[in-house]
Each structure stands twice: as structure tokens, then as C-alpha cells.
Copies of this chain bind each other. A is one copy, B any other.
Amino acid sequence: MKILRLIKKNRLFENFEDKEINVLFDNLKGRIVKFSRGMIVAAQGTQIEEIGILLSGTLVKFIVKSDGAREAQGTLLGGDMFGDTEVFLKDKLIRASYVAAEDAAVLYLPTEHILNMGDSPYRKKLMENILATLAEKIIAIGKDSEYLIIKSMRHKIAKLIYDKHLETGVLNVELGINRNEMAEYLNVSRPSMSREMMRMRDEGIIDFWKDKITINDLVKLREIAK
């Protein structure tokens, strides 16, 4: 059954066999809820007791700011989860709202049952995965703010490209995001960013075409990125 495929894509069930997941589900008493397009799946500020894993459809995530403005915070696709942080807080208040952008099915995992699980052979594995998920999230957010802390435009751009180079090992990096998204991620204005990128191209440091960037002067780039 294809639900299994999606569940296995989820980080919480990494290293689980199909059979194990089935057994686990009986223990956890997970339930599947269907939402039709436009329905609110979770409302900011309400309490949640379960981790939600999206099985089908898409959800849009957004927050309502104190002045009433809505801020989009991206889209959830099959296998993604929500509430996985908040459910472990004391107040259990979810910090964003999720709305079904198309008909969707959500698998809910009651954390209470996870914590109360007996000494099953899978309990440890599941627990490790949950802990790893949270720990990785902390590292990821920390990584994001590395860019926010940088003050100069050139430094931000260089670090983004250089980090991608370190990650891939090639001089021909691909960012996978467009200029707008890149500017948003670095928290700068797109024209200013483009301007600086062009300067760097003029100086022979990089070359670019869409989201594909060629590093021409790695030494200089590294120097700026540091």
C-alpha cells in the first residue's frame, strides 16, 4: 500500500522495515484524517497532542503576525510533517497555521502513546529518530542564521556559493532556488544582490546563469566567504 511508501520517506521512520512500521502503528494507534481543499488542518495558537504526517495532497503553512498580516511559510508535500516540535513543548501551542491547498490526508501520531510505549524493539529506534529530527532542526536553523548575521552583501553571496561548493565538491554549483528566493534567504533586496553578483562576475570571481553558478576564482571566493 502506497501509504507505507510515504511514511517511509519520513525522517521519523528511517531505517524501519515495512513490517516494523505496521507493528508500530498498531501500538501507536495512529489515525488518518482526510481534509478537503481549503480546510484548516491546524490553527495557529491551538494545542496539539499529535505529530501530523502528510500522506497526500499539499498543505500551505503560514503565520498571522501581530498586525494581522499573513506571512506564507512554504508548502508541505507528502511525507512532510508538522507539529513535530510544538508537541513536545509544555504549552503544546502550534505556532503556525496549516491549510489544505488541495484534498489531503494526514496521519496523526499521538506522542503520548510513543512515550508510553513499552519496551518494544522499535521504541529505541523511533525515539532516536525523533531526537535526531529535533537536533537536526536546531543545527539547520543555526546554519540559516549564519547568513543573517553576516552584514555585507558580498560576504553573504560568497558564503552561500562557497558553502554549496564545500557541500558538493564541484566548481559548478547549482542553488536550486531563483533570485527572489535567494535574496529572501539571505534577507537582502534582489536588485542589490544582483548588482553585487554582477560586480563579482566583472572581477572574474564567478559566472552565473539562472541558479547555476560557476566558480572562476575559488581562492578569492573563499577569502570573501570567510
CB-CB < 8 A to A135: which residues of B? 85-89, 134
Q: Using CB atoms, name the residue of chain B closest to A90.
A: B132
Q: B85 contacts A139, CB within 8 Å?
A: yes
Size of the chain A interface, CB-CB below 8 angstroms: 36
Contact string against B for A residues 67-87, beta-carbon threshold 8 Å, 1 for contact and 0 otherwise: 100000000000000000111
A66 interface neighbour in B115, B116, B127, B226, Cβ under 8 Å: B226
A146 CB to nearest chain B CB (Å): 10
A67 interface neighbour in B124, B131, B226, Cβ under 8 Å: B226
A interface list, Cβ under 8 A from B: 65-67, 85-90, 95, 115-116, 118-119, 124, 127-128, 130-132, 134-139, 141-142, 144-145, 148-149, 151, 187, 225-226
Chosen A-B contacts, 22 in total, with CB atoms closer than 8 Å, are: A65-B226, A67-B226, A85-B138, A85-B139, A88-B128, A88-B132, A88-B134, A88-B135, A89-B132, A89-B135, A89-B136, A115-B124, A116-B124, A118-B119, A131-B131, A131-B134, A134-B134, A134-B135, A134-B138, A144-B145, A148-B149, A149-B187
